[in-house]
Amino acid sequence: MSALPAPASKASPAAVTPHAVNCGDCGLRDLCLVEGLSTADLDRLAGMVSTRRRIKRGEPLFRAGDRFDAVYPIRLGFFKTRVTADDGREQITGFPMPGDILGFEAISSTHFQSDAIALEDAEVCVVPFDRLETLSREFTALQHQLHRVLSREIVRDHGVMMLLGTMRAEQRLATFVLNLSQRFAQRGFSSREFILRMTREEIGNFLGLKLETVSRTFSKMQDDGLIAVEQKRLRIEDLARLREVAGAGCSLE
Amino acid sequence: MSALPAPASKASPAAVTPHAVNCGDCGLRDLCLVEGLSTADLDRLAGMVSTRRRIKRGEPLFRAGDRFDAVYPIRLGFFKTRVTADDGREQITGFPMPGDILGFEAISSTHFQSDAIALEDAEVCVVPFDRLETLSREFTALQHQLHRVLSREIVRDHGVMMLLGTMRAEQRLATFVLNLSQRFAQRGFSSREFILRMTREEIGNFLGLKLETVSRTFSKMQDDGLIAVEQKRLRIEDLARLREVAGAGCSLE
DNA sequence: CGGTAAGTTGAAAAATCTCAATCACGGTGG
DNA sequence: CCACCGTGATTGAGATTTTTCAACTTACCG
């Protein structure tokens, strides 16, 4: 996998913003852990986010085997998460973006099971997990939301299984594009035109395809007038037909 | 999907065992929600399981769209869980067995997102979810375990993604067989010889393969002396080589 | 004991992968 | 400022894997 940046096994040079952080002021409030909490509750949750952390493009936020003690709501930037088999096979499990939360897969074992790599300069909140557990015993609304977020991740994964198990290349790619589009829309960005932060190889790995197949399929979708792709820039030209190609169901999120 | 038994949309004739149930007496204690809880705690959790429910082979425990209000630890019997796209595509997401817990994917939306169908006569515990949340605010160990179980499901799903995204037919099937074997072992059954409760079509659907491919691949693995399959009965003949075929990593659970 | 669902096997078709050549872009150093 | 280098992307052609279609066998249930 030469596409990936050097491992950089040093303890990650990520900068740390020392100032206190407050979920109530966060623009991503409605997507994140505190969705649905009252303003009064939010004030009392002041200490939930211990700090923030910045990660440079290509650097890991965490790696499989690192000790788990916090989850990381993303403030800024795209990531990829990936699992690696003992024999070196890799599978990208998702491309989380601001408002998504990283690290839940680690709860079950006290150590992370996957890598989270920043695809661009990024910033995350650091939420110590023991603190989150303590607070969620006190704030029922937070407990609910935590369970919802965990469950949502399971549902998302089932969507990916559906994609990998039942779809053809073109359908997979169309579904992938629509999913990105939708998530950009939720975050207030253009859903019609955006930048692909990941390479063709990374897209292919996620979708269970080779990079050449991704490239060819993009070209075909462009010839068919569904999308316009030029390097990393993608524009949806015919949403209705793109949806047809993706097939009903399985929005991936 | 003619392989599946008739939908049976009636409200499921499952019998209900009215007597109180106690996790402390349960043989599956070490796999289930109460793993790691002290005996003293277990006594105080008496009311967690409201009742038990029996499901006949081919019947659903729940279906996508049903209202969610409980999770279901399996006492007895195999299930399949599956998601269905609007256009009718189906994807089996797993084959849960005793000690596994059904229903967590529904937390995020108040309604189930998938079907759980009994592959043989089965029995589950009924754990009302609001009660589970209440108790987990009181019992830290239960809260931990709930989070662990949720997280374990995410990790499992990542393993399936790895399988679907990076493996060839034979590797998928070998991994599948080894996973079943391992889970039988954990439950005290023979890990070397067991009955496949699911059809070739269901195996194929789960593994992203057609039933003919499953059949052919079983035959090949038999010719190669890795396994012996005769209808639903499977015996592992050469564990070491089967593991080689499955490749290191990704035990699926 | 018959009917139906499940499983096996073969041959041809289709999808995807592999290998290889070429092109585009961005960053870097002269 | 521009040439150069390396990574990423595109495209083609042939190989491989899996699917599809079809025939046939086997097992199971009533």
Please tell me whether residues A27 and A136 are part of one structural domain. yes
Q: Is residue B28 part of a domain?
A: yes
pLDDT digits (tens, 9 = 90+) for B127-152: 999 999 999 999 999 999 999 999 99
Closest C-alpha among A50, A32, A14 to residue A146: A32
Distance A53 CA to D24 C1' (A): 65
Looking at every residue in chain B, the average pLDDT score rounds to 90
Q: Is residue A233 part of a domain?
A: yes
Q: For position B45, what pLDDT does the model report?
A: 87
* CA–CA dist B56, B38 (Å, integer): 34
Closest C-alpha among A103, A152, A154 to residue A126: A103
Please tell me whether residues B40 and B125 are part of one structural domain. yes
In B81-224, alpha helices (H): 129-138, 140-166, 169-186, 200-207, 211-223
pLDDT (tens, 9 = 90+) of chain A, 253 residues, equals 333 233 333 334 444 445 557 888 888 988 889 988 888 888 888 889 889 999 999 999 999 999 999 999 999 999 999 999 998 999 999 999 999 999 999 999 999 999 999 999 999 999 999 999 999 999 999 999 999 999 999 999 999 999 999 999 999 999 999 999 999 999 999 999 999 999 999 999 999 999 999 999 999 999 999 999 998 999 999 999 999 999 875 566 6
CATH of the domain at A82: 2.60.120.10
Q: Is residue B206 part of a domain?
A: yes
For residue A93, list chain B residues with Cβ-Cβ distance below 8 A.
Answer: 158, 161
- Nucleotide with smallest C1' distance to residue A202 CA: D8
Q: Is residue A8 part of a domain?
A: no
Q: For position B19, what pLDDT does the model report?
A: 53
Please give the C-alpha separations between residue B13 and each of A136, B16, B53, B62, B111, in angstroms, as whole numbers.
38, 9, 10, 12, 21
Range of the domain at A223: 167-246
* CA–CA dist B235, B195 (Å, integer): 9
Distance B219 CA to C10 C1' (A): 14
**Strand, coil or helix: A67:** strand
User: Which of A118, A153, A188 is the last residue in one of the domains?
Assistant: A153
Please tell me whether residues B135 and B199 are part of one structural domain. no
Tokens standing for A117? 């790599």
CATH of the domain at A229: 1.10.10.10
Q: For position A50, what pLDDT does the model report?
A: 86
Please tell me whether residues A87 and A171 are part of one structural domain. no
Please tell me whether residues B103 and B215 are part of one structural domain. no
Distance B93 CA to C9 C1' (A): 29
Angle at CA of residue B44, ends B40 and B50, nearest 5°: 135
**CA-CA-CA-CA torsion sign (A139, A141, A144, A145):** negative
Please tell me whether residues A146 and A29 are part of one structural domain. yes
Structural domains of chain B, count:
2
Q: For position A6, what pLDDT does the model report?
A: 35
Please tell me whether residues A202 and A78 are part of one structural domain. no
Residue A222 burial (10 A CB sphere; 0-12, 13-18, 19+)? middle
Max Cα distance, chain B (Å): 56
Q: Please, which residues bridge with residue B53 across strands?
A: B16, B124
Amino acid at B2: S
- B93, B130, B162, B213, best to mutate vs chain A, most A CBs in 10 Å: B162
Mean of pLDDT values over B6-28: 58
Tokens standing for A140? 């029922």
Please tell me whether residues A63 and A88 are part of one structural domain. yes
The answer for B58, left when phi > 0, alpha when psi is -120 to 50, beta otherwise, is left
User: Which of A121, A153, A185 is the last residue in one of the domains?
Assistant: A153
- Nucleotide with smallest C1' distance to residue B213 CA: D18
Dihedral, CA atoms, B210, A209, B150, B28, nearest 10 degrees?
40
For residue B145, list chain A residues with Cβ-Cβ distance below 8 A.
Answer: none
State the CB neighbour count (10 A cutoff) for residue A98.
Answer: 21
pLDDT digits (tens, 9 = 90+) for A50-109: 899 999 999 999 999 999 999 999 999 999 999 999 989 999 999 999 999 999 999 999
Q: Is the pLDDT of residue B189 over 90?
A: yes
Please tell me whether residues A37 and A140 are part of one structural domain. yes
Q: Is residue B216 part of a domain?
A: yes
User: Which of A153, A185, A219 is the last residue in one of the domains?
Assistant: A153
State the CB neighbour count (10 A cutoff) for residue B100.
Answer: 25
Cβ atoms of residues A181 and A79 within 8 Å: no
Q: For position A251, what pLDDT does the model report?
A: 62
Q: Is residue A99 part of a domain?
A: yes
Q: Is residue A226 part of a domain?
A: yes
| Intra-chain end-to-end CA distance of chain B, in Å | 27
Please tell me whether residues A25 and A134 are part of one structural domain. yes
Please tell me whether residues B189 and B114 are part of one structural domain. no
Please give the C-alpha separations between residue A8 and each of A12, A106, A125, B167, in angstroms, as whole numbers.
7, 21, 22, 28
The band of B252, judged by pLDDT with boundaries at 50, 70 and 90, is low
pLDDT digits (tens, 9 = 90+) for B24-64: 888 898 888 998 888 888 888 888 988 999 999 999 999 99
Q: Is the pLDDT of residue B14 over 60?
A: no
Q: For position A5, what pLDDT does the model report?
A: 34
Please tell me whether residues A27 and A138 are part of one structural domain. yes
The band of B77, judged by pLDDT with boundaries at 50, 70 and 90, is very high
Q: Is residue A162 part of a domain?
A: no
